[in-house]
Amino acid sequence: MINQEDQFKKVISHAKEYGYVFPSSEIYEGLSAVYDYGQNGVELKNNIRAYWWKAMVQMHDNIVGIDAAIFMHPTTWKASGHVDAFNDPLIDNKDSKKRYRADVLIEDYCAKIESKIDKEVAKAAKRFGDAFNKEEFVTTNPRVVGYYQKIDEILKRMGKSLGANDLADVKALIEELQIADPLSGSRNWTDVKQFNLMFGTKLGASADSAMDLYLRPETAQGIFVNFLNVQKTGRMKIPFGIAQTGKAFRNEIVARQFIFRMREFEQMEMQFFIKPGTQKEWFKHWKDTRLKWHLSLGMGDENYRFHDHEKLAHYADAATDIEFKFPFGFKELEGIHSRTDFDLKQHEEFSGKKLQYFDHEENESYVPYVLETSIGLDRMFLAVLSNALVEEELENNTTRTVLKLPAVLAPTKAAILPLVKKDGLPEIAKKIVEDLKWDFNVVYDEKDAVGRRYRRQDANGTPFCITVDHDTLDDQTVTIRYRDTMEQKRVKIDELSQLIKAEVDEKVWLEKCSV
Ligand code: GAP
């Protein structure tokens, strides 16, 4: 068994070695928390985006997409509250001169208590064997119950202090818990201060007339300011949604954990406009719907959980995260927020334009309420990649590295391999590539022995290898090898397209969540 830290290191080096993710501008030593996607990464990212877009936009008659600009009028961010309230609490260690997010230090402390719980559970499971009942154990064992209570108390107090902007109490909590700088071990902390996360830039040629702008910290505001444009031109009736995917930028204090927390990243967001008073039902609806989308990918039901927020963002009346079990523990993957009418009302006030909906059935105008689903594309990428990477012990005492990506998301769907580079086999293999590439991303590979080529495709995450051999010349059949089971079957060349489609088609996967 390899530990979580080693597993995470393996994910990062695998991502680089196989053309998924590179550090940005690496020849200049890279740029902190900025990454580039390589030839396989871009395909995986596009496939995740397409899977989301299909489920959220194309499968819903009442949801449409837009693509708003990254630059927005600066008043947008005053209205949205980001200029005044989009802050993280930071704290510096006076000895190491390192800067941390105060809330993350406290959360990491709680995560350590959680790992103690995991250890207790593992010990008890070993002791009791088949008779072990985890549910009963974690609710009755005094030590575990005590740990849970402690986590709860800490997080509640932190939520309360942050909510009230009582930064002195956040520092007091860090001191009471005796949290030390993870790098130096020092407990010599500065006061906690607020730090705005938006990146500023300038628009215009001359210094005098240049306008101060921000790079958008979320895509959502591009949807709010276009609410009436879309509603009117699309004759949309409430309830309806507007979705978009695109870049967002945050000057994260502590950007770390690879592509989990980046300074430039991509979001996939949907704002669902509803009648005021119906937000509770819609909150539940979108929680269920989004979880089903995640589960449809088959990455393990036990790897997801909801985390309801204690501390609500300035715009929300309810909020939950869908957390995923990353190699460094359960962390937020997607946020679902009931944003009330906060944003539209603010934009009405700051722009002086009405942003209301006339409800013909009720014969009245109102500012709609909004239910938001917001997922980081890069974070989803990390969830998929880290979950897929497996080292398997084989029967012949060798190991293989395999990327068990959900086939619908895999960058390359099939590799076509001539057994040898002669006797007309490459020509047949290339013809198969020509036929299949209209529908699937496929590659041709003739280098090295076929066993090595299989291993290479396993590590690349390619679900199928198709081998052309001498029998193909006689009967137009090929061997199809399945990545996950290594099972091999003989099939007719004519059947390949249908066979692959049955395994990689979005429809087949999305039907599991019946969107
Ligand atoms: N419009 C709401 C919003 O932006 P958020 O919880 O701040 O809410 C939504 O962000 C999602 O965006 C998160 O659940 C996460 O997946 C992703 N995200 C946020 N900050 C990120 C960062 N620095 N790097 C990568 N992904 C990030």
Paired tokens of 100 = 């941390």
The residue that leads in pLDDT, 390 or 204, is: 390
Over 60: is that where the pLDDT of 1 sits?
no
* Average predicted confidence (pLDDT) for the chain: 95
Over 60: is that where the pLDDT of 310 sits?
yes
pLDDT value for 515: 47
| Chain segment 354-377, per-residue pLDDT in tens | 999 999 988 999 999 999 999 999
Cα separation, 453 vs 437, whole angstroms: 20
Report the residue among 223, 247, 268, 374 best suited for mutation to probe ligand 1: largest number of ligand atoms under 8 A from its CB: 374
- Ligand 1 pocket check for 338: Cβ under 6 Å: no
Over 90: is that where the pLDDT of 163 sits?
no
Cα separation, 12 vs 385, whole angstroms: 9
Residue nearest (by alpha carbon) to ligand 1 atom 25: 261
> 162: helix, coil or strand?
helix
- Ligand 1 pocket check for 465: Cβ under 6 Å: no
| Chain segment 255-286, per-residue pLDDT in tens | 678 999 999 999 999 999 999 999 999 999 99
- Ligand 1 pocket check for 33: Cβ under 6 Å: no
Which percentage of the chain shows pLDDT scores above 70?
Answer: 99
CA 321 to ligand 1 center in whole angstroms = 10
Residue nearest (by alpha carbon) to ligand 1 atom 5: 335
Over 80: is that where the pLDDT of 68 sits?
yes
| Chain segment 432-475, per-residue pLDDT in tens | 999 999 999 999 999 999 999 999 999 999 999 999 999 999 99
| Chain segment 171-187, per-residue pLDDT in tens | 999 999 999 999 899 99
Report the residue among 45, 76, 265 best suited for mutation to probe ligand 1: largest number of ligand atoms under 8 A from its CB: 265
Strands (E), 31-151: 35-37, 63-65, 87-92, 99-101
| Chain segment 7-36, per-residue pLDDT in tens | 999 999 999 999 999 999 999 999 988 999
pLDDT value for 2: 65
Cα separation, 103 vs 155, whole angstroms: 9
pLDDT band at 4 (very low <50, low <70, confident <90, very high): confident
pLDDT value for 395: 86
Cα separation, 54 vs 515, whole angstroms: 10
What are the backbone angles phi and psi of residue 491, rounded to the nearest 5°? -135, 160
> 122: helix, coil or strand?
helix
What are the backbone angles phi and psi of residue 150, rounded to the nearest 5°? -65, -45
Reported pTM:
0.89
Kindly report the CA angle at 155 between 172 and 218, in degrees rounded to 5? Answer: 105
Domains of the chain by range and CATH?
A: 87-196 (3.30.40.230), 412-514 (3.40.50.800)
pLDDT band at 303 (very low <50, low <70, confident <90, very high): very high
| Chain segment 97-124, per-residue pLDDT in tens | 999 999 999 999 999 999 999 999 999 9
DSSP string, 390-448: EEEE-TTS-EEEEE---TTT-S-SEEEEESSS-TTHHHHHHHHHHHHTTTS-EEE--SS
Helix spans in 226-365 (H): 227-233, 279-295, 342-351
pLDDT value for 287: 97
Read off the pLDDT of each residue in 197-224 and give the average, rounded to a whole number.
91
pLDDT value for 407: 98
Read off the pLDDT of each residue in 177-203 and give the average, rounded to a whole number.
95
Residue nearest (by alpha carbon) to ligand 1 atom 26: 376
pLDDT band at 312 (very low <50, low <70, confident <90, very high): confident
| Sign of torsion over alpha carbons 483, 488, 493, 499 | negative
